[in-house]
Structure 1
């Protein structure tokens, strides 16, 4: 492999890290380099950085790490590399720390070789570039990621940026309280008295439990209310939905799609076709646009 042609893209999630080499010329992931590690986001700083470093080094072993581009959840000072994540049940111990410096030291790279951007913006950038939204380069698209947190982004004529709506006032709290994994787990326990470990556990019960389906229906109503506000702000041509919760889209689309299309029948709703690869491609694409 030619050095300089490949850059390491990284997706930091609330329960995992994924990394891979990205071929800049072909704008594709080198599939043989794909590396994924589980992560304890409540762990000690040294353990988190060590796990991230191992995953990145494994992905880049054929070329070595020269430039690393990370899709990171927020809030975060992406330029300086300082975490502002607090009160989200993930990476709390990184709060206030310079993650670029910590990761650079672990990888034996200068902080300048560590590029970071918002994970939702990277996701949307990747989907417009190579995924289901690739026909919208010259228009406006909004994107959301649904998982341990709520990500939101806008793509407008070549540039993707975070909409930062996770803490938008919603119902009697903030949007993320109703549109994340923790809402599913809390709501299901409230209705059944049962504790489950993830959304997929609730999805598995839908065939045998009307309550399980009712939780997804309620989520669909919450999501449609949130998206309608997002749509009013941005007037997009399309919406892209990603994140682990989107894997259960069939269970909540019945409440979501009619509400969106009643508001504007022309808006297209697309599920992510690239999954985690969108964030990897988007992180590198964001860096490439930044240096040009």
Structure 2
């Protein structure tokens, strides 16, 4: 048996946590994020949430956040949609409170590590994870280990210039909201009924996502690229145009070897937060 590990995904609207016990994620719970409150209020909300899991003999606590992190020192430099959460010594605060080791990283990095350790990415040592939702996030796993870069900023293709905006504008929900004035889920339902405008929206989206994937292939040529986030559920509607856009990639042998996979885990960021701990701490058998 292995000691339980607590994984936490802190977002702008909600905080989700679960405990990995014997390889299975259990007690998955969530609370609303007090996003517009003071830093002290947010910290106390996180601590009180964690308190509810302390009946476990935890090996450690892993945390994923949508922002930049000083990984080495456990400092959250910023957190998207939580204005007061800037330059927060989160590791120090939680370790002093709970006397457990705490590890923090960007949530997209956690996603990539989560799918490599627990999801469809398990057969591959080198992969890139892309989260497709309100925004676009990216994470890189090299030889089975997460590559975070400076301040956990590796894989931030979302901000790279593309056409008249950036990749996030064209590869996230912003594309559907701004260009077609609809949510991806709504357009998917219309596409299923044969709506031509909805079908065109997903065809265009697949081409844009294909352009992003080509950038990733030129830089890393990973064994697998795993798509996550809410938009992954609409994959059947843009799969064809995505692969069509990859046909002009200069190295067809690379395309043939690279697997494009869809994450089957709904709480991958929590799994990834757990994996942060497993990567850093020697697993000690639980004392009976």
What TM-score, normalized to structure 2? 0.81
- CA–CA distance in 2 between the matches of 1:16 and 1:226? 28
2:28 corresponds to which residue? 34
Q: How does 1:152-163 map to 2 (within 5 A)?
A: 152-161=138-147, 162-163=154-155
Q: How many residues in Structure 1 have an aligned counterpart in Structure 2? A: 270
Q: CA deviation at 1:212?
A: 2.6
Change (3 A) 1:47 1:188: farther
Q: CA deviation at 1:95?
A: 2.7
1:128 to 92, 107, 116: 116
Is residue 242 of structure 2 the alignment partner of residue 250 of structure 1?
A: no
- CA–CA distance in 1 between the matches of 2:57 and 2:48? 12
Q: Deviations over 1:96-146 (max 9, x none)?
A: 3334456667xx336x73320122222122212221121113xx2111111
Q: Secondary structure at the match of 1:226?
A: helix
Q: Is the 8 A contact 1:71 1:122 kept in 2?
A: yes
Q: Deviations over 1:240-259 (max 9, x none)?
A: 11111112111221211233
2:106 corresponds to which residue? 118
Change (3 A) 1:146 1:291: same
Q: Secondary structure at the match of 1:91?
A: coil
Q: Deviations over 1:143-199 (max 9, x none)?
A: 11112221112211121224232212222332222222233212222xxxxxx5x43
Q: Secondary structure at the match of 2:159?
A: coil
Change (3 A) 1:135 1:16: same
1:279 corresponds to which residue? 269
2:98 corresponds to which residue? 109
Q: How does 1:202-281 map to 2 (within 5 A)?
A: 202-206=187-191, 207=193, 209-260=195-246, 263=249, 264-276=255-267, 278-281=268-271
Change (3 A) 1:63 1:15: same
Q: CA deviation at 1:42?
A: 5.1
Q: Is the 8 A contact 1:9 1:19 kept in 2?
A: yes
Is residue 173 of structure 2 the alignment partner of residue 181 of structure 1?
A: yes
Q: CA deviation at 1:225?
A: 0.3
- CA–CA distance in 1 between the matches of 2:234 and 2:210? 15
- CA–CA distance in 1 between the matches of 2:180 and 2:208? 15
- Structure 2, unaligned stretches of length 5 or more? 148-153, 250-254, 283-288
Q: CA deviation at 1:274?
A: 1.8
Change (3 A) 1:124 1:225: same
Q: How does 1:2-41 map to 2 (within 5 A)?
A: 5-23=3-21, 26-29=22-25, 31=26, 33-39=27-33, 41=35
Say what the alpha-carbon RMSD is for the aligned residues: 2.8
Q: CA deviation at 1:43?
A: 5.3
Change (3 A) 1:200 1:57: farther
1:69 to 62, 69, 77: 62
Q: CA deviation at 1:65?
A: 6.3
- CA–CA distance in 1 between the matches of 2:106 and 2:23? 20
- CA–CA distance in 2 between the matches of 1:183 and 1:77? 31
